[in-house]
Amino acid sequence: MSPWPFAKYLDNVKNKVLLIEGILPSLPPKTQPVTVDSSPAFHNPVSHLDITTQLLIVLGVVCHVLMGLATDHCNFIIGAVHLIIDSVMALQKIQHPDGTEDWAPDDANV
């Protein structure tokens, strides 16, 4: 009897490790450093977007990641905010000759 009761189990595991080591690829004897172009890591993917779009992206990240809302709910919130922004930006003011400003007739009731 073996001094350790799990010696048979340990021998079985060692044999399987040796079998797996024979299958795994090994590194070449001389390895050299790999050159990687890391310039895309410093490219800002939203720098070309206007401030409204950047704020909508931040709103989406806050709703989805920090608040834990589902994608459909986040899409609804972003769509509603986008609709409000488009509506407000569509309003037009008219400048009168005396220097006063007033809303365009179509936008007076908004």
Please state, as a whole number, how many other Cβ atoms lie within 10 Å of the Cβ of residue 63: 19
User: What pLDDT, on a 0 to 100 scale, did the predictor assign at position 80?
Assistant: 93
As averages over each run of 10 residues, the pLDDT of the chain (110 residues) reads 71 86 77 83 86 88 90 91 83 78 66
pTM metric for this prediction: 0.48
How many other C-beta atoms can be found within 10 angstroms of the C-beta atom of residue 18? 9
d(CA 90, CA 71): 28
- What is the C-alpha separation between 22 and 67, in angstroms, rounded? 49
Type of residue found at 89: M
